[in-house]
């Protein structure tokens, strides 16, 4: 999920990334917690870099599930259902490097700018997040240092590795979205989100539509136009690297069989495009 709208009353104060918590503070992550990021195929030789910002529903044990019951942590508010499975399958198919987040976006969302009030949500899809209410500056900083920065450092390292081989990174970010939002059905099977760089998204939309089986959203159900602070906007857009953000409907990839199918659908559409000459050059498109 790229962005879920909230009302002003649901906003918390922006995360301003103050100085790290003082020495002696209780660590956010313990030995039983997953790492903040996992990199698959770090020594891959291709230019494709797969990202999954909302791969995990894990919450550090020290945060006591943010005060939420298990049934809420299984929902889309905690992670992008099926996105990690599709990302892993694509990484295997292409032998590509993939970076997956290791924590729930409810703790801190790596696909947000820190100044975005929804970076640490107090309310998500009308669900109050008790553990995010009235956080002081030290608690916010702890999440930035332990989770947010390491994930982006892993993405930056993967980008740098591709550049060091003399290649131009091609970033594909994999997300998923709910079949309905606030009672309104979403007909798209997959959405292709992009801003001003058409090199990958336009032919990808054409390839997916040519399949004939799918309802393909061009900047639906969210828009990639004019967005700031996300992972793609941080690591691809300013540098002029080709990029696209994919949104697959969650009910289609909630099972292993569904993830298999959609990794094949996306892979079949993407594979011939990776040899396009336009993807081998750096080109910075001016923002509208």
pLDDT at 14: 56
| 1 in any annotated domain | no
pLDDT exceeds cutoff 60 at 13: no
Three-class SS state of 79:
coil
For 148, the token pair is: 């947010």
* Domain tally, the chain: 1
Percent of the chain with pLDDT over 90: 86
| 39 in any annotated domain | yes
pLDDT exceeds cutoff 50 at 58: yes
Instruction: Quote the Cα angle for 153-73-180, to 5°.
Output: 95
| 194 in any annotated domain | yes
pLDDT exceeds cutoff 80 at 288: no
Burial of 71 (0-12, 13-18, 19+ CB in 10 A): exposed
- pLDDT tens per residue, range 262-277: 999 999 999 999 999 9
Can you give the CATH number for the domain in which 100 is found?
3.40.630.40
| 179 in any annotated domain | yes
When pLDDT is cut at 50, 70 and 90, the band that residue 6 belongs to is very low
For 133, the token pair is: 């209410």
| 3 in any annotated domain | no
| 281 in any annotated domain | no
Q: Terminal CA-to-CA distance of the chain, rounded, Å?
A: 24
Q: Where are the beta strands (DSSP E) in the chain?
A: 37-40, 48-52, 97-101, 123-124, 127-128, 170-177, 180-181, 184-185, 190-193, 216-218, 243-249
When pLDDT is cut at 50, 70 and 90, the band that residue 182 belongs to is confident
The residue segments making up the domain with residue 137 are 8-275
- HSE-CB at 97 with a 13 A cutoff on CA atoms is 23
Q: How many CB atoms lie within 10 A of CB 265?
A: 20
Using DSSP bridges, classify how beta strands 37-40 and 97-101 pair: parallel, antiparallel or unpaired: antiparallel
| 87 in any annotated domain | yes
CB 170 within 8 A of CB 280: no
pLDDT at 15: 60
When pLDDT is cut at 50, 70 and 90, the band that residue 125 belongs to is confident
Cα gap 66→121, rounded to integer Å: 11
| 115 in any annotated domain | yes
Mean pLDDT over 5-24 rounds to 44
């Amino acid at each position: 999920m790229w962005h879920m709208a909230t009302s002003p009353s649901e906003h918390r104060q922006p995360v301003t990334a103050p100085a790290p918590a003082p020495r002696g503070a209780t660590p956010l992550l313990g030995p039983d917690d997953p790492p903040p990021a996992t990199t698959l195929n770090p020594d891959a030789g291709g230019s494709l870099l797969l990202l999954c910002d909302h791969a995990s529903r894990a919450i550090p044990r020290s945060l006591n599930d943010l005060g939420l019951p298990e049934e809420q942590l299984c929902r889309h508010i905690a992670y992008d259902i099926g996105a990690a499975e599709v990302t892993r399958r694509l990484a295997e198919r292409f032998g590509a490097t993939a970076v997956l987040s290791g924590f729930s976006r409810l703790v801190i969302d790596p696909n947000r700018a820190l100044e975005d009030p929804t970076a640490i949500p107090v309310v998500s899809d009308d669900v109050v997040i008790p553990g995010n209410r009235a956080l002081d500056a030290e608690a916010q900083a702890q999440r930035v240092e332990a989770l947010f920065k390491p994930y982006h450092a892993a993405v930056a390292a993967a980008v740098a590795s591709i550049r060091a081989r003399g290649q131009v990174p091609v970033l594909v970010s994999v997300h998923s979205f709910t079949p309905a939002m606030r009672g309104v059905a979403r007909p798209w099977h997959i959405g292709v989100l992009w801003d001003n760089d058409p090199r990958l998204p336009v032919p990808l939309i054409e390839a997916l539509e040519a399949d004939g089986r799918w309802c393909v959203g061009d900047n639906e159900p969210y828009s990639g136009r004019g967005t700031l602070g996300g992972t793609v906007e941080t690591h691809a857009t300013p540098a002029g690297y080709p990029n696209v953000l994919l949104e697959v409907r969650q009910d289609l990839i909630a099972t292993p069989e569904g993830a298999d199918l959609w990794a094949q659908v996306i892979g079949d559409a993407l594979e011939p495009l990776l040899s396009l000459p336009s993807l081998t050059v750096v080109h910075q498109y001016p923002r509208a």
